[in-house]
Amino acid sequence: MTSQNIAIAIHGGAGTILRSSMTPELQAKYEGGLQDALDAGYIILENGGSSLEAVEAAVVKLEDFLLFNAGKGAVFNHEGKHEMDAAIMFGKNLVAGAVCGVSGVKNPVKLAREVMANSGHVLLSGKGAEDFGRQQGLEFEDDDYFFSQQRYQQWQDALAEDRVTLDHTDKKFGTVGAVALDSAGNLAAATSTGGLTNKKYGRVGDSPIPGAGTYANNDTCAISCTGVGELFIRSVVAHDISCLIEYKGMSLTDACDLVVQHKLVKIGGEGGLIAIDKEGNIEMPFNSEGMYRACKNNKGRNEVKIYGGGDE
Ligand code: ASP
């Protein structure tokens, strides 16, 4: 056990998540998935491991969990494929790695980590990123692994109406992410997503873009976002929060509030984010109905939550 502040927060997407449309069984499944991922990351921090390891381990668990829109549970694009995006960033030296539009990779966050550590680049796309992943010995899966009847039906529904939708038809962003502070004072962030159901033309959202959907800087905070990617890119959400702390001296709470509840809302940017600052303060704000989220620190905070409005 360390006496330094350690903290982790994770999300499984924000959106229209209502108690009335959830069964107790399904809720228990979601909560179990979040708890597993939280524990996988926290134990690393508790044993003195790095925030980078912790966010990767948490996101791998979320990618392997069918109900979230990342890895195994990634949504179908217009061509009936799964094109995934992911990013990881380390706040100690601002190194980052990301991939977009990749198919077949079991854990896109691992590929993002490889890009960060071994490619000499920050962002690789499509086939090139996949080739690099194979070269690095990452695990690949065939289409069956990524198939689920529920996701297939969502795609069919979206195709029939010729619309591009957020994860589920009832507006849920199932993207996953994690942020952490380790006992050495290093912050890290990671995000992974299948993007939007029925997306076309190689569309890429905010998740793999450092500064938009994912950002970590030891001087300020670590952030992972979920929501309508286009609006999060235009608002450069994650970096904006970091800048408000760095240049305006704002608290994490005030910076998150300004960006999520005001700047984003003003342009119709629905969604939320998880954030941890260098002191270990945790924020999990969202302007949608709910957000799958969880956090834990060594000061007694330990939460798994889904809905908004303090109705937990
Ligand atoms: N931000 C993601 C994207 O636009 C969607 C999500 O959060 O689920 O790709």
Summarize pLDDT for 19-68 with one digit per residue, the tens: 887 899 999 999 999 999 999 999 999 999 999 999 999 999 999 999 99
Within a domain: 19: yes
Q: What residues are in contact with ligand 1 under a 6 Å CB criterion? A: 13, 69, 167, 173-175, 193, 195-196, 205-207, 213, 226-227, 229
> How many separate domains does the chain show?
1
Task: Name the residue at shortest CA distance from atom 6 of ligand 1.
Answer: 173
Average pLDDT along the chain: 93
Residue 2 inside a domain? The answer is no
Q: CA 256 to CA 294: how far, in whole Å?
A: 17
* Distance (Å, whole) CA 280 – CA 177: 17
Distance 156 CA to ligand 1 centre (A): 19
Please indicate, yes or no, if residue 154 is contained in any of the structural domains: yes
**Residue minimizing CA distance to atom 4 of ligand 1:** 229
**Tokens read off for 40:** 């996988």
> What would the pLDDT profile of 128-139 be if each residue is shown by its tens digit?
999 999 999 999
The pLDDT of residue 170 is: 55
Q: Is residue 312 part of a domain?
A: no
Asked if 193 is an active-site residue, the reply is: no
**For the sheet containing 271-277, what is the strand order?**
214-216, 221-227, 271-277, 282-283
pLDDT of residue 1: 43
Which atom of ligand 1 is the closest one to the Cα of 175?
8
The residue with tokens 């979230």 is 68
Q: Could you report the per-residue pLDDT of 71-120, keeping only the tens digit for each?
A: 999 999 999 999 999 999 999 999 999 999 999 999 999 999 999 999 99
Whole-number Å distance between alpha carbons of 169 and 172? 7
pLDDT of residue 138: 98
Is pLDDT above 70 for 172? no
What is the best residue among 82, 196, 235, 236 to mutate for testing ligand 1's pocket, by most ligand atoms within 8 Å of CB?
196
Residue 218: CATH number of its domain: 3.60.20.30
13: closest CA among 158, 209, 177? 177
Measured distance CA(127)–CA(144) in Å, rounded? 19
Structural domain of residue 21, as residue ranges? 7-307
What tokens appear for 48 in the block?
């003195």
Which pLDDT value is given to residue 156?
87
Count of other CB atoms within 10 angstroms of residue 114: 21
- For ligand 1, mutation pick of 63, 193, 224 (most atoms within 8 Å of CB): 193
Q: Does residue 98 lie within any of the structural domains? A: yes
Q: Which residues of 81-96 are buried (b: 16+ CB within 10 A; e: fewer)?
A: ebbbbbbbbbbbeeeb
Catalytic residue selected from 16, 23, 165, 175: 175
Residue 280 lies in a domain: yes
